[in-house]
């Protein structure tokens, strides 16, 4: 059976990362669970006791807060920039023409081109189709007369965890969404 990833939190409820069920079992076995939440719980079956013949079981929740997690490490963390997460942040839409595309039809465009001092940062990159990226070239959107449809932003950790996982349970999604920035205000369309 394939289990979804477990959402690992620090003791204050801040999301930290996705973990496989095996890591969650280890956290439970080492008595590091501070608290749990969410509607989903999974019962995992282990080996049989030689003396009693009974099979061991452990129940893990879909969202687990772990003792000893250092919240300060994660507060100022800027998630790594990859095309996969960038395209998901921008909803697989070219932020110049507004059309949705498949991943292999998209590119990373630098709002302020690298050739003029722009940097490869979340706040300076947007998703663009190949046609629009080629047309814009080494110019800014203003110089190319191609206004952006949304403002690029740095996702917080909850948003980034959403972008990273394609199999999120409803209770995990609800938990993460409660910590999202107001993304909709960034979209002009």
CATH code (residue 91): 1.10.30.50
61, with CB counted inside 10 A (0-12, 13-18, 19+), is buried
Range of the domain at 53: 6-75
pLDDT at 184: 53
Give the 3-state secondary structure of residue 76.
coil
Q: What is the mean pLDDT of residues 26-39?
A: 94
Which pTM value belongs to this model? Answer: 0.78
Give the 3-state secondary structure of residue 21.
helix
Please indicate, yes or no, whether residues 66 and 21 belong to a single structural domain of this protein: yes
Does the residue 149 lie in any domain? Answer: no
Whose tokens are 């023409």? That residue is 97
Does the residue 28 lie in any domain? Answer: yes
Distance (Å) of CA 95 to CA 74, 121, 153, 165: 29, 16, 13, 23
Please indicate, yes or no, whether residues 70 and 102 belong to a single structural domain of this protein: no
CB 96 within 8 A of CB 128: yes
Q: What is the pLDDT of residues 48-100, one digit of tens each?
A: 999 999 999 999 999 999 998 665 555 567 899 999 999 999 999 999 999 99
Please indicate, yes or no, whether residues 15 and 69 belong to a single structural domain of this protein: yes
Structurally, the chain folds into a number of domains equal to 2
CB 63 within 8 A of CB 171: yes
Does the residue 183 lie in any domain? Answer: no
């Amino acid at each position: 059976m394939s289990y979804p990833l477990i959402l690992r939190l620090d003791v204050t409820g801040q999301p930290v990362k996705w973990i496989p069920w095996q890591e969650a079992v280890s956290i439970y076995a080492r008595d590091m669970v501070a608290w749990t939440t969410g509607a989903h719980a999974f019962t995992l079956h282990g080996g049989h006791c030689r003396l009693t013949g009974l099979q061991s079981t452990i129940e893990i929740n879909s969202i687990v807060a772990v003792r000893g997690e250092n919240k300060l490490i994660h507060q100022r963390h800027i998630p790594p920039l990859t095309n996969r997460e960038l395209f998901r942040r921008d909803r697989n839409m070219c932020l110049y023409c507004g059309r949705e595309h498949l991943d292999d039809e998209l590119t990373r465009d630098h709002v302020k081109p690298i050739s003029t001092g722009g940097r490869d940062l979340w706040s300076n990159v947007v998703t663009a189709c190949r046609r629009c990226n080629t047309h814009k070239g080494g110019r800014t959107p203003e110089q190319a007369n191609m206004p952006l449809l949304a403002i690029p932003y740095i996702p917080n950790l909850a948003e980034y965890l959403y972008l990273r996982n394609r199999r999120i349970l409803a209770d995990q999604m609800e938990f993460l969404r409660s910590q999202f920035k107001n993304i909709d205000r960034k979209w002009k369309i």
